[in-house]
Amino acid sequence: MNLKDLLSPFFVWQRAFEKPYTTLRPTIDRPGAPAYRGFHINVSEECVGCGSCHAICQNQAIDMVAVEEFAGRKADSGLRPRFDYGRCCWCGLCVDICTAGSLRMSNEYAWITEDPTEFHFTAGVDDKPWQNNELGYRRAEGYHLYPPKRIEMDMLSPDESVQSFEEVARGYSEEQARKEADRCVECGICVATCPAHMDVPDYIHSIRDGDYEKGLQLMYRTNPFPATCGRICTRRCESVCPVGILGEPVAIRWLKRFIVDQVDAQDYQRILNDRISESGHRVAIIGAGPGGLSAAYYLRKNGHAVTVFEAHEAGGGMLRYGVPSYRLPDDDLDKDIDYIVSLGVDIRYNTRIGKDIDFEQLLADYDAVFLSTGLSVPSNMRIQGEQHARVLSGLQVLADVASGRDPGIGSQVAVIGGGNVAMDAARVSRRLGADVTLLYRRRIADMPADTEEIHESQEEGCHFVPQAIPVEIIAADNPQQVSIKWGEAEMVPDPKGGRPRPVLQEDRMHTDTYDCIISAIGQGSDLDFLSKEIQEQLAIEWGKFTPAEYQQSALKKIFVGGDVANRTADAISAIEDGHHAARGIERLLNPDKFTAK
Amino acid sequence: MNTVDEILDYAIDQEQQAADFYADLAGRAEKAGMKDILLEFAAEEQRHKERLLAVKTGEHELTPEQEVLDLKISDYLVEVETTDDISYQDALIVAMKRERAAYELYSDMAARIPESNLREVFVGLAREEAKHKLFFESEYDERVLVDN
């Protein structure tokens, strides 16, 4: 080694005092471009945890993880996206697909840490300095990876629809159904919200695959009334569909209907392939509505001999006698009922428990009893003059029309109420040729009826008079007519913070004359078939049962469900009650199957 | 009734009578679940009575002067009979009508006597009854006028 080699390292030290060629912490002076695809921002409050970001990520860089803060929120899975920056390529597809528009990217791109596990983080939950960055990549306004608007259902025009009782909604074509099915992001938030927990994403997927038989099988797992629910379901699923946050929710109900409409009833046996092995147990069901027949279907599948006692001459309950055929044609209701009956369910029509057969006898003869008798007694207005012969009940008018009888409403009709019965009574009256005025105590926005029904009633020419309180029924000069005195109402705040309440303004009264007044202000239960002793043993509040787990009553052989045992009083809830009760009865009859071994 | 105590004793007795009325009806009720509802009504009247007892002993004041919302629901409903098979709807109508009658009684008495301490007591009692009426009318609005 010569002397130069020995000293050269020391000469390098002189460089230490020169200006460096590299820049220390370059990002301080060089921020990302305004639309740069940098680190992710998620506005967790807006996110609903649909998982579309997870599904679309080509690098599998996004996991959906449970975040306690959001557990149990309505229309929310309670999950939030967790990013793995060892995998992310910052393509931005997750931002483009985000149904809630909560996911964005900041223009921050430098993150220096010695701990590599930090690059695995839950955006919007883990505290990061770029969470509130205004700059960065955002989805362009109006840009959607799926169409924000649903495929419109072909409907009869209002002018056409009032001419007959023909079904108003015409159904999707195959092309329309596939296009609409393509809008589903398969998040499954709808499954949690549906009372029957129908497997919505998978049956919609079956439409994409063109495999309608599979779709039918999936639906029957939790709902033996798909033809019915495909037409008149209250579709809570759609109210939580995340596609509806920035656009219109997927038309889940119409897609369900499409699947059922593609399958002939005669093929049901082959497709559903319900094989029954007799158990030797006997179960009685009171009421052949959706609750009773749903229980009958699942009980029969378990091999039990099922007898349904029905007071009317046909099955379906309110679906047949309360829902007019322009919304639910009899043939479609019968498609559901006929398959249940085909499994060997015995329905005894025109048989009223308490009159034709004692309830106690039923209780003695069967291993379990399911009560699903519905709400069949119309509430009275309890105002002066209500007993007038030209005051009709909405339920009776609908039952008359369903049975082919003329309800004799005349040509000028007033309907009182804002629920679905009132809407149907009004629309039926229009189809019978009457001019219809609908009086409602509160605002149109407060009406408990389905918004679609409200809209269609108005389109068909029903004249709505909101904030109108009936106070007296008065005999008209013409005995074929009747007058109603009503007063205008002002909405005032509820002192206890509830919804605003209507208060009658006594200085603004009106009297109008009609050919009839149809009262549709609500309905209650008829439990008179139960003895006082049994009633006292069952938990009943305000005319409704309050069942325990599996719809079981305080008397362990008696299970209850449907409108007479739930608050929602809709078909899908009754169907789930029936399914749930069937599971409860199975536990009662075959406890060994459920004992841990 | 010439003294404040006499008036309050009368009002307390009325509340007790109301509680007894509902308890008696509960014992005879035939419809499912009505017994519990009527016993709830009786308990509500007992609470009214206890409130007035507290007013009498000076522990509590009558409702301060402020407008009590009048929904006017019971004003236009027909009278109903208190039969053994009374329904939920009719039980609420009975309760609303009773509170309305009490409200009108105290209001009427307050209007008949000159400005005085006694009159203030009647006005206060009327407001108490108006609050009770509002309680039952709100129940009726929520539970009976569901679709209306």
Residue B126: what pLDDT? 86
Compute the distance between CA of residue B52 and CA of residue A166 in angstroms, rounded to an integer.
63
- Residues of B in Cβ contact (< 8 Å) with A501: 69, 71, 138, 141
- Pick from B69, B141, B143: which is nearest to A495 by CB? B69
Q: Do A542 and B93 touch (CB under 8 A)?
A: no
Phi, psi of A105, rounded to the nearest 5 degrees: -130, 140
Q: Is the pLDDT of residue A27 over 70?
A: no
Q: Is the pLDDT of residue A597 over 70?
A: no
Q: What is the distance in angstroms between the Cα of B32 and the nearest Cα belonging to chain A?
A: 5
Q: Would you mind telling me the total number of residues written for chain B in this entry?
A: 148
Contact A400, A426 (CB under 8 A): no
> What sign does the CA torsion over B101, B107, B112, B116 have?
positive
Residue A439: what pLDDT? 98
Compute the distance between CA of residue A452 and CA of residue A447 in angstroms, rounded to an integer.
12
How does pLDDT run across A141-170, given as a tens digit for each residue? Answer: 889 999 999 999 999 999 999 999 999 999
Q: Does A18 touch chain B (CB under 8 A)?
A: no
How does pLDDT run across A36-70, given as a tens digit for each residue? Answer: 999 999 999 999 999 999 999 999 999 999 999 99
- The DSSP code for A357 is B
The average confidence (pLDDT) of chain A is 94
- Pick from B30, B88, B147: which is nearest to A532 by CB? B30
Q: What is the distance in angstroms between the Cα of B77 and the nearest Cα belonging to chain A?
A: 5
Residue B64: what pLDDT? 60
- Pick from A381, A503, A524: which is nearest to B71 by CB? A503
Architecture of the domain made up of B4-143: Up-down Bundle (1.20)
Q: Provide the CATH number for the domain formed by A158-270 in this structure.
A: 1.10.1060.10
Tell me what percent of the residues of chain A surpass a pLDDT of 90. Answer: 86
Q: What is the ipTM of this complex?
A: 0.83
- Residues of A in Cβ contact (< 8 Å) with B142: 498
Q: Give the CA distances from residue A115 to residues A120, A558, A570, B26, in Å, rounded to whole numbers and listed in that order.
A: 10, 61, 55, 71
The residue written with tokens 């055929």 in the block is A325
Residue A26: what pLDDT? 63
Residue A281: what pLDDT? 98
For A134-139, what is the mean pLDDT? 95
Q: Answer whether A278-376+525-594 and A378-522 agree in fold.
A: yes
Residue A539: what pLDDT? 80
3-class secondary structure, A178: helix
Q: Is the pLDDT of residue A242 over 70?
A: yes
CA A302 centroid distance within chain = 27
**What secondary structure does DSSP assign to A186-215, as a single string?**
---HHHHHSTT---HHHHHHHHHHT-HHHH
**What secondary structure does DSSP assign to A525-592, as a single string?**
---TTS-HHHHHHS-EETTEE---GGGB-SSTTEEE-GGGT-SS-SHHHHHHHHHHHHHHHHHHH-GG
Position B2 confidence tier, pLDDT thresholds 50, 70, 90: low
For A537-550, what is the mean pLDDT? 89
**Residue B130 vs residue A432, higher pLDDT:** A432
Architecture of the domain made up of A278-376+525-594: 3-Layer(bba) Sandwich (3.50)
For A256-277, what is the mean pLDDT? 97
Compute the distance between CA of residue A550 and CA of residue A567 in angstroms, rounded to an integer.
16
Extents of the domains making up chain A: 24-122, 158-270, 278-376+525-594, 378-522
Q: Which of A122-131, A305-314, A471-480, B47-56 has the lowest mean pLDDT?
A: B47-56
Q: How many CA atoms lie within 13 A of A371 on its CB side?
A: 32
Q: Does A578 touch chain B (CB under 8 A)?
A: no
Q: Provide the CATH number for the domain formed by A378-522 in this structure.
A: 3.50.50.60
Residue A257: what pLDDT? 98
- Pick from B76, B145, B146: which is nearest to A472 by CB? B76
Q: Is the pLDDT of residue B147 over 90?
A: no
**Residue A529 vs residue B115, higher pLDDT:** A529
Residue A18: what pLDDT? 83
B interface mutation test: which of A373, A375, A379 has the most B CBs within 10 A? A379
**Residue A283 vs residue A30, higher pLDDT:** A283
Residue A216: what pLDDT? 98
How does pLDDT run across A377-404, given as a tens digit for each residue? Answer: 998 999 999 999 999 999 999 999 999 9
Residue A533: what pLDDT? 86
Q: Do A384 and B93 touch (CB under 8 A)?
A: no
Residue B63: what pLDDT? 64
- Residues of B in Cβ contact (< 8 Å) with A371: none
Tell me what percent of the residues of chain B surpass a pLDDT of 70. Answer: 95
Compute the distance between CA of residue A216 and CA of residue A238 in angstroms, rounded to an integer.
20
Nearest residue of B to residue A419 by CA position? B147
**Residue A372 vs residue A13, higher pLDDT:** A372
Q: Does A446 touch chain B (CB under 8 A)?
A: no
Q: Please, is A63 exposed, middle or buried when counting C-beta atoms within 10 Å of its C-beta (0-12, 13-18, 19+)?
A: middle
Position B59 confidence tier, pLDDT thresholds 50, 70, 90: confident
How does pLDDT run across A320-367, given as a tens digit for each residue? Answer: 999 999 999 999 999 999 999 999 999 999 999 999 999 999 999 999
- Pick from A418, A494, A536: which is nearest to B147 by CB? A418
Residue B68: what pLDDT? 84
**Residue B63 vs residue B136, higher pLDDT:** B136
- Residues of B in Cβ contact (< 8 Å) with A450: none
Q: Which of B105, B91, B77, B102 is nearest to B139 (CA)?
A: B91
Q: Provide the CATH number for the domain formed by A24-122 in this structure.
A: 3.30.70.3270
Q: Is the pLDDT of residue A595 over 80?
A: no
Residue A268: what pLDDT? 98
Q: Which of A483, A466, A465 is nearest to A474 (CA)?
A: A483
Nearest residue of B to residue A489 by CA position? B71
How does pLDDT run across B77-136, given as a tens digit for each residue? Answer: 999 988 888 888 888 898 899 889 988 988 888 888 877 777 778 888 888 888 888 988
- Residues of B in Cβ contact (< 8 Å) with A494: 138
The residue written with tokens 């020995």 in the block is A6
What are the helix (H) ranges across A86-130? 93-97
> What sign does the CA torsion over A229, A233, A236, A241 have?
positive
Q: Do A417 and B148 touch (CB under 8 A)?
A: yes
Q: Do A521 and B145 touch (CB under 8 A)?
A: yes
Contact A325, A402 (CB under 8 A): yes
Q: Do B134 and A495 touch (CB under 8 A)?
A: yes
User: What residues contact A352, with CB distance under 8 A and at least 6 apart?
Assistant: A309, A311, A529
Compute the distance between CA of residue B72 and CA of residue B83 in angstroms, rounded to an integer.
25
Tell me what percent of the residues of chain A surpass a pLDDT of 70. Answer: 99
**Residue B37 vs residue A38, higher pLDDT:** A38
